[in-house]
Amino acid sequence: MLKLMQLKSDLEASWEKTREASALAYQLDGEFRQEVSTDLDGFQGTLRELADNLDTVIEEVRTLGKASQLMKKSMRIISDNEESYKVDIEHIQDEMREDNNT
């Protein structure tokens, strides 16, 4: 999860640097300006798309983590209930034996 968040941060920093480069390219003249600006706009779009996709992945990881925790909690409750049930059965059987012995 931390690596995903770091990757997203790095992509956003790259997007910002690309935006700065685009501003510099705008200061150039003629056809070269147009060509560089177009390429940088494409890079910005790709970086934004990657960052958005990472947002989705990060949210899915969080959701899976929460689901996993809930499942573990449910399993502990089931296990605890099963143990409690076994203890109750043993107690009832002990009482029945005592009643039969008297």
Q: What is the pLDDT along the chain (102 residues), one digit of tens a residue?
A: 788 888 888 988 998 898 888 888 878 777 777 788 788 888 888 998 998 999 899 899 889 888 888 888 888 888 777 777 777 777 788 888 887 776
Domain ranges of the chain: 2-73
Residue 44: the pLDDT is 87
Q: What local confidence, expressed as pLDDT, does residue 41 receive?
A: 84
* pLDDT at residue 102 in the model: 65
Q: What is the DSSP string of the chain?
A: -HHHHHHHHHHHHHHHHHHHHHHHHHTS-HHHHHHHHHHHHHHHHHHHHHHHHHHHHHHHHHHHHHHHHHHHHHHHHHHHHHHHHHHHHHHHHHHHHHHHH-
